[in-house]
Amino acid sequence: MTEIRLQKAIANSGVTSRRKAEVLITEGRVSVNDEIVTELGTKVTRSDKIEVDGVLITKEDKVYILYYKPAGEISAVEDNRGRSTVTDLFTELGKRVYPVGRLDYDTSGILILTNDGEFTQYMTHPKYEVTKTYRVKVDGILKRHEQKQMESGIMLEDGKTAPSEVNVIRDKKNKNMILEVTLHEGRNRQVRRMFEHFGLKVLKLTRVNYDFLNLEGLGEGEYRYLKPHEIKKLVANAKA
């Protein structure tokens, strides 16, 4: 019978990513056949009984969903303040999925949800540099030289940003501006903070592309399942 590493088995179950599974193991929160295991090199088979925090993990069919997240939803499985989350709809449908990365509460757009921890690792680990494009409406004008600065990287409180691509969609003189910004980082509130760096307030923010994926055919709050060739292409692009 094929053996795989314990952290991979946990990730394959959709409980969490492989990296987070390693943390759970070292913290003594994982048991195999009723014995606590803390060694990362431990290997298991399909017949082994694996529990995380006392809950038995099960092998689930992989699910990959492209969701048009509306503003006003939390990118989490639950919220201690009782706000709507991006998984509420899918919980009602009987699907246990988790958001891949996050979008801020006030941000709308593409969000992938899945129960495949290994896929999530490819999409979110900084070394894979998956690109995301945001359409941004700002109260004011990002001047040409400021666009150049943003493209080469600007210094924020948590360090210099990686180079990004900036395209102007609409420029209404001195009133407001609509731009598209493409980047591969995923820092907290990064796009908003990049514009705040130049004294500009973001009025609306939507993630319109995730790698080659877009929102075509979807309205806010709607979703579709990713096709097998799309999943393969996302992983291949991340590895490239």
Q: Which residues are catalytic?
A: 104
Kindly give the residue spans of alpha helices, DSSP state H, lying in 62-159.
88-92, 117-124, 144-152
State the Cα–Cα distance between residues 217 and 109, nearest whole angstrom: 13
State the Cα–Cα distance between residues 179 and 119, nearest whole angstrom: 30
State the Cα–Cα distance between residues 189 and 183, nearest whole angstrom: 13
DSSP lists the bridge partners of residue 182 as 133, 165
**CA triplet 130, 136, 138: central angle to 5 degrees?**
145
Question: Strands 201-210 and 108-114, how do they pair?
Answer: parallel
Residue with token string 């801020």: 104
From the list 181, 199, 200, the residue with the least C-alpha distance to 191 is 181
